[in-house]
Amino acid sequence: MGKPGTPEEDRTKVNAAVWRYHPIKHEFEVFSHGTSNPWGIDFNDYGHPFITVCVIPHMYHVIQGARYQRQGGEHFNPYTYDDIKTIADHRHYLGDRGPHAGNFRSAAAGGGHAHAGAMIYLGGDTWPEEYRNTIFMNNINGAIMNNDLLTRDGSGYVASHKKDFIVMNDSWSQWLNFKYDASGSVYVIDWYDQNQCHSPNPDVHDKTLGRIFKISHENDKWVNENLYKASDAELVNYQLHANEWYVRQARTILQERGGNSEIYSLLKNIVEKNQEVTKRLRALWTLHVTGGTDEDYLNKLLDDEDEYMRSWAIQLVTEDKKISETTLSKFSDLASKDDSALVRLYLASALQRLEPSKRWDVLAGLSKREEDVQDHNLPLMLWYATEPLTDLDAEKALELAENSNFDLILEYTLRKISEGEDDTSQNILQKFRNKKSEKSEVYGGMIDSLLSK
């Protein structure tokens, strides 16, 4: 894939992924790999994306550089070895005969395995608070609008099944997408069709049918807004609005207009003085898209008291895939000392955007954090960042893995080195096997097996 006109040899290969495209720089890149038919994506109050998928478990917290469970096929990188699984603690179908067998007989669990659309409700304060930051998705086979609660856990989230929001009572109803508007109401696109699933025969679908619904709470009041008429200062102020519709629309318009000293001053005032981290984040994101941040500014935020601000400073400072030695030193310090698993996750993610030779010290710190060994994301995210180091210096990479508290990193490093075709790789493994250490004893049998291949 790539922007129109990109030569075939310069296109990015995709075989299941979440990707992004920069509307001004016209840059295309894969954000994360894997999953299956991700037909819906949305962001919570902290800017964290989530996708809904089909056939495989339905919910994933999307992390830059992550590789997720696939419905089929193989990851491009043959040294992936394992991928990150669903955050859902439930499934929307019943029985143990597989996801397809549960369709049309699983209303009690949510309706079935296939999902379309994703909306994290941030549409203001007119709807009950219980819906805010929860994710809605249509259950295609069940004709049910599912609702999952997203709860922070370690570096990421757990998705739990809340009471289903709407049961359509009409198997033809297929809600593909839904968005909240300026009033807080939700508009729904319904692909109204007797056939729920894809088919090689295009004639099974009736292309003349379709419906649009509007879901309103009794407190919603119709508004007609044109934010293009707002001044720059008014658009900045919309970053504080309770309804995310205003926030995102205003940010887009400010990005289209380009930055200036007035909006930078106003936005930085929010970042530095607002008491709510979600408001500070909105201002930071707007600063970023309008060109109002630089490395020095973001480095100051690496020392912020709030974990979300530190995390996003890591994300944004590595957007251009290069950082100064000063920033790299700060990353190393955070890796060893920061008490937030979320910050450590963002570091593991950011490392994949830096050339491998810059990763050693940060990985050394992160890989010793014993509290992350059972985390949902960090063990594999650290491996994805570590894996290329074996090509730079296999012996040094093995030493890093041996000093790590993550057995997974050592096991996968040994496997990766064993796949080298020269004698050097075999010698490194044999040297490790001959060491008088606890870990060389624990992995002795594995090494003998690898050496005998």
| Nearest to 280, CA basis, from 312, 302, 257, 252 | 312
Which pLDDT does position 198 carry in this prediction?
76
Return all residues near 238 (Cβ < 8 A) that are at least 6 apart. Answer: 227, 230, 246, 247, 249, 250
pTM score, whole prediction: 0.94
Question: How confident is the model over 237-242, as a mean pLDDT?
Answer: 97
Which pLDDT does position 446 carry in this prediction?
85
Share of the chain above pLDDT 70, in %: 100
| Mean pLDDT, all residues of the chain | 93
Which pLDDT does position 113 carry in this prediction?
87
pLDDT digits (tens, 9 = 90+) for 317-363: 999 999 999 999 999 999 999 999 999 999 999 999 999 999 999 99
Least confident interval from 243-247, 285-289, 442-446: 442-446
Question: How confident is the model over 40-60, as a mean pLDDT?
Answer: 95
User: Is residue 35 a part of any domain in this protein?
Assistant: yes
User: Is residue 450 a part of any domain in this protein?
Assistant: no
pLDDT digits (tens, 9 = 90+) for 278-324: 999 999 999 999 999 999 999 999 999 999 999 999 999 999 999 99
Residue 208's pLDDT band (cuts 50, 70, 90): confident
State residue 390 phi and psi, 5-degree precision: -65, -25
User: Is residue 227 a part of any domain in this protein?
Assistant: no
Q: Contact at 8 Å (CB) between 397 and 389? A: yes
Give yes or no for residue 100 having a pLDDT over 90: no
Residue 421's pLDDT band (cuts 50, 70, 90): confident
User: Is residue 290 a part of any domain in this protein?
Assistant: no
Instruction: Output the CA angle 193-196-201, nearest 5 degrees.
Output: 85
Question: How confident is the model over 83-93, as a mean pLDDT?
Answer: 94
User: Is residue 269 a part of any domain in this protein?
Assistant: no
Which pLDDT does position 292 carry in this prediction?
97
Give yes or no for residue 64 having a pLDDT over 80: yes
User: Is residue 440 a part of any domain in this protein?
Assistant: no
The separation between CA 244 and the C-alpha centre of its own chain, rounded to angstroms, equals 19
pLDDT digits (tens, 9 = 90+) for 3-27: 778 888 888 888 899 999 898 888 8
Question: By residue range, what is the domain housing residue 123?
Answer: 15-215
User: Is residue 358 a part of any domain in this protein?
Assistant: no
Q: Are strands 28-35 and 67-70 parallel, antiparallel or unpaired?
A: parallel
Of 107 and 68, the one with more pLDDT = 68
Task: Collapse the DSSP code of 357 into the 3-class scheme (helix H, G, I; strand E, B; otherwise coil) and give the result.
Answer: helix
Long-range Cβ pairs for the range 299-307 (8 Å, 24+) = 299/326, 299/327, 299/330, 301/271, 302/327, 302/330, 302/334, 306/277, 306/280, 307/340, 307/342, 307/343
Return all residues near 107 (Cβ < 8 A) that are at least 6 apart. Answer: 142, 144, 167
Which pLDDT does position 281 carry in this prediction?
98
Domain count, the chain: 1
Which two structure tokens, joined as six digits, stand for 398?
A: 């093995």
Residue 148's pLDDT band (cuts 50, 70, 90): very high
Residue 96's pLDDT band (cuts 50, 70, 90): confident
User: Is residue 73 a part of any domain in this protein?
Assistant: yes
